[in-house]
A and B are shown apart, each in its own frame.
Chain A
Amino acid sequence: MSENIGKIIGVNGNLLKVEFSVPVIQNEVAYACVGTGDLKLKAEVIRIRGNTAELQVFEDTVGLKIGDPVEFTGELLSVELGPGLLTQVFDGLQNPLPRLAEECGFFLQRGKYLDPLPRDTKWAYTPTAKEGDTVIAGDTVGTIPEGMFNHCIMTPFNLQGKWTIDKLTPAGNYTVEEVVAVLKDEKGNTKNVAIMQKWPVKMPIKCYAERLRPTESMASKMRTIDTFFPVAKGGTFCVPGPFGAGKTVLQQIMSRNAEVDIVIIAACGERAGEVVETLREFPELTDPRTGKSLMERTLIICNTSSMPVAAREASVYTGVTLAEYYRQMGLDVLLLADSTSRWAQALREMSGRLEEIPGEEAFPAYLESVIASFYERGGVVRLNNGETGSVTIGGTVSPAGGNFEEPVTQATLKVVGAFHGLSRARSDARRYPAIDPIDSWSKYPSVVDEVKVNKARKAIRDGSEVGQMMKVVGEEGTSIDDFVLYLQSEYIDATYLQQNAFSETDSSNSIERQEYVFGRLLKLLDTQMKFEDKDKARSFFQQLTQTCRDWNNSTFNSDEFKQIEAQMTKALAEVSDYAE
């Protein structure tokens, strides 16, 4: 029981005003006690004025009354880091949802907080450091096998200066709370290192030697992304789009296919149903890289739209902190946040209750800096032991009315390295993924040769211009050469940009396949074609499109694949104009 107790003097939605007499810390966690104190609601201090603190409560505040006590804990909002995180499903405050369901049934219960990491599980620990070694913050002292990884047990990230390992616990089975090493500094101070450590979510973990530039591609197996708008390991990207344009499907495919070690999905203020799909399907799917269940590399933070708003704000930080923790072990982590707009809205709701002066669309004035500092937590780093690790961050944005000129999208675009803008026109025409091939951009290197990509880009742009023009002057006003340009760009769209997420073969294309297929595509662009009239040209491309779709659905380098390819080569030869 904390000594530090305040008294409620105001309740407005989930904002509490609390009178206190002893020191309180900005952003510290407190518990508001309902009635007799059996029910305690977690809250965070967000503003202090005189002897009044304002707290956002992470739960519904029904039942609180003036004069009810509030216990201050003196700790910032933190997450527990240690083995047992992977495969778990947490809410925004790191409450384990499956275990909560076991205890409370179908519904979430207010004021019920469980330990994120089970306290009774024993882990097989092996020390890797030696007694007498000098360590600094974030150095590994031992490992624990967790799923397919060796989970590193590290010295506390907040350790200051150099310490020596005084005592090491021998290999054996321990629970997360047990001490595995004792450190000593020059002055003779000692410090215990337990398997588990805590870290405040709003502070980046910075125990690395240097940050590097993200250059290595992170394959997503999606042709549009890897070839045209690639994402690098340690890079950041955003996916804004109106509702129904396929943001979430895109993220789900990404979480399934991305070539990284660990995927953290932060479902922030979105539909619960979408998380459930991941939750129920991933254990059944195998990761082609390791042959094990996809769930073994996945961690879900789930604060869906009907769950308390304040915890939604915390959930993206919880996600990124866990990502940084795994990066410290030299792993590549992908964090997918869906959707950052909901998080921004949570900030807006709180800002409104605090009666702050609103910025654009009533978002708080500090929105931009908050978004920037979140994305800046991504990156590739060289760790102190020479290994590299990365956190790649991808956030969806749900702009009001699908209009990208709104504060959240604009603030995000300033800080990300790739922009996958989804367009309503494409999704209406069922051209999925609906990533706009003309407006989107990426600052990272493509998996295929940049010169070739630019050629294809130009073909798409030229074709689309002809298409625009044709709307005005009609088909008869368009020359056959221009018309072929248009058909070519439509062909690239239909057979390369579009990818059927529900077809097993087509939904994920290896880099090797992408390079090969893209090469074929370029050959087509380089071929001079001759047609008698436009109808002939159109029917040729229709036929070729259908054949190529069959090709996309055949296994790479299988007999069927080669057979269809031969068919296409033949068809192309028939219309080639070798005479010139």
Chain B
Amino acid sequence: MQNKVYHRIEQITGNVIVVKADDVIAGELAQVNSAVGTSLAQVIRLENENVFLQVFAGGRGIGTDAQVRFLGRTMQIPFSENLLGRVFTGSGKPRDNGPEIEENMIDIGGPSVNPAKRIIPRNMVRTGIPMIDVFNTLVESQKLPIFSVAGEPYNDLLAQIALQAEVDVIILGGMGLKHDDYLFFRDKLDESGALSRTVMFVHTASDPTVECLLVPDVSLAVAEKYAQEDKRVLVLLTDMTNFADSMKEVAITMEQIPSNRGYPGDLYSQLAARYEKAVDFEGSGSITILGVTTMPGDDVTHPVPDNTGYITEGQFYLKNGRIEPFGSLSRLKQQVNDSTRDDHRAIMDTMIQLYANYKETLEKQSMGFRMSDWDSKLLAYGERFETSMMDITVNVSLEDALDDGWKILADCFEPAETGIASKLTDKFWPKS
């Protein structure tokens, strides 16, 4: 019954084909054989005897006489230790020259974690980058996107964090990656020996759109399994804007009413379903998600970064090769930065507030106003801050970075000018 072959395609629109078939279940997988080859397809809608299928390899080249065979199961992905060091496509086919893996198939897009079983995040992930460690600490089980524009070194930053962060398994989900970028990640991880603890699911810009939609789900399904085996997993997703754009493409083809700039109304829920997979299993491993969201036109109010911002626990805002202190935020930092060092929070708040004042002074300066004593101090401070704290290519410990912070403050200001509580200045202010 399940293997009955249908070979009359009623309708082909974009990547979606319609056949008349019975006994098909929602979400079922099918195999489509056509002149251009074989592809998987997934049932996305049932209407009386009409079955709507989304073809992973795209609708191009499919004839009305293509053969459709239903497989009686939903989308699955293999899971085993053998995945490490390998590269796959979004539908789980090997991308490197290695053998196909078909053992221990697991479902993708599984149910969400019961909120009652979640725990408060408590472990800081040290990255060695002061703009992250001091000002916006990354925390295990956090989900954080890097907001950026095309051309910024976001993939470099992602790779650097991946290499410097202490985790057991890295899963890279590439969506709409340029082929060069895919090779960059592979080589960079290989150089440092990290490839052997990495699984890559890569969809490049030239691959079929539908496979792009599968990348986050397969990456996270595999991550979830590793996490349940006591591993700390870091999932890197680049670039989630491409994922959203693929969703838009499919939704428009399905004639759904678009909500905002052509994106489907469930954009928020769809993104959330993926990001919310970040979790810390009590007594077992964890999943931390770092994504990249490119903002078309550097517009943070664009639907993709906007919806992402409401879902994730903060964001790193990468601009001009620096993590901007203003747009950036780690919501979970308060969970860990009280137990690092007494002065961590004070340094964090004060330095940013003073940097904000510096920016205002810069504005005044550019308009040609006279600089007061206070302004000159701020100008000196701002420059020091930018050169020593905002560099993202360094690798310094949190403690050293905090000491640097005090040094900069002491070189530029009197203790009272910083507004830091006297208890702390008494203890930490460098004695000249």
Contacts and interface: CB of A to CB of B under 8 A. Distances in A.
Q: Which of under 10, 10 to 19, 20 to 34, or 35 or more describes the interface residues of A?
A: 35 or more
A60 B276 CA distance: 16
Given A108-B112, A304-B276, A352-B265, A542 B309 contact: no
Contacts of A543: 416
B120 A107 contact: no
Contacts of B374: 535, 538
Contacts of A553: 421
B369 A475 contact: yes
A530 to B, nearest CB: 19
Contacts of B334: 502
B350 to A, nearest CB: 9
Interface string B199-222: 000000000000000000000000
Nearest to B423: A550
B421 A550 contact: yes
B120 A11 contact: no
A349 B276 CA distance: 19
Contacts of A476: 369-370
Question: Chain A at the B interface: mostly helix, strand, loop or mixed?
Answer: mixed
Interface string A1-31: 0000000011111000100000000000000
Contacts of B258: 362
Contacts of A277: 120
B125 interface: no
Given A276-B115, A304-B115, A304-B276, A10 B372 contact: no
A428 B392 CA distance: 21
A206 interface: no
B274 to A, nearest CB: 8
A342 B116 contact: no
A273 B119 CA distance: 8
Nearest to B49: A66
Interface in B257-272: 257-260, 264-266, 268-269, 272
Given A273-B332, A358-B257, A535-B372, A66 B301 contact: no
Nearest to A533: B372
B74 interface: yes
Contact of B310 (A109, A348, A398, A428): A398
B349 to A, nearest CB: 6
Contact of B111 (A98, A108, A271, A402): A108
Contact of B259 (A242, A280, A362, A546): A362
A107 B45 contact: no
Given A98-B116, A273-B118, A273-B313, A429 B353 contact: yes
Nearest to A477: B369
B55 interface: no
A106 B45 contact: no
Contacts of B276: 271-272, 304-306
A358 B257 CA distance: 8
Given A63-B26, A349-B265, A107 B313 contact: no
B266 A309 contact: yes
Contacts of A244: 309, 314-315, 329, 331
A411 interface: no
Given A280-B119, A534-B372, A348 B265 contact: yes
Q: Which of under 10, 10 to 19, 20 to 34, or 35 or more describes the interface residues of B?
A: 35 or more
B266 A107 contact: no
B115 A535 contact: no
Contacts of B417: 539, 542
A433 to B, nearest CB: 15
Nearest to B349: A430
A12 B113 contact: no
Interface in A262-301: 269-273, 275-277, 279-281
A382 interface: no
A188 interface: no
Contacts of A281: 120
A119 interface: no
Contact of A474 (B47, B331, B370): B370
Contacts of B225: none
B265 A430 contact: no
Interface stretch (B17-25, B87-95, B234-242): B17-25
A85 B326 CA distance: 42
Contacts of A471: 363-364
A506 B83 CA distance: 52
A12 B260 contact: no
A556 interface: no
Contacts of B141: 273
A442 interface: no
Contacts of A105: 114, 117
Interface string A207-249: 0000000000000000000000000000000000011100000
Given A61-B26, A106-B114, A400-B301, A542 B419 contact: yes
A370 interface: no
Contacts of B27: 61-63
**Residue of B45, B141, B272, B329 contacting most chain A CB atoms (<10 Å):** B272
B256 interface: yes
Nearest to B300: A401
Interface in B43-76: 45-49, 74
A506 to B, nearest CB: 11
A546 B416 contact: yes
A114 to B, nearest CB: 12
A11 B43 CA distance: 10
B422 to A, nearest CB: 7
A394 B326 CA distance: 28
Contacts of A545: 419
Nearest to A538: B374
Contact of A101 (B116, B119, B329): B116
Interface of B: 22-27, 45-49, 74, 110-121, 141, 228, 256-260, 264-266, 268-269, 272-273, 276-277, 281, 300-303, 306-307, 309-311, 313-315, 326-327, 329, 331-332, 334, 338, 345, 349, 352-353, 356, 363-364, 367, 369-370, 372-374, 416-417, 419, 421-422
Given A11-B26, A345-B265, A348-B265, 20 more contacts: A17-B47, A62-B74, A64-B46, A104-B114, A243-B309, A270-B310, A272-B113, A273-B313, A279-B118, A305-B268, A352-B256, A358-B257, A358-B259, A400-B260, A428-B356, A429-B356, A471-B364, A538-B374, A549-B419, A553-B421
7 contacts: A106-B114, A345-B269, A348-B259, A352-B259, A400-B306, A502-B334, A546-B416
The 4 closest A-B pairs by CB, nearest first: A401-B301, A474-B369, A305-B272, A306-B276
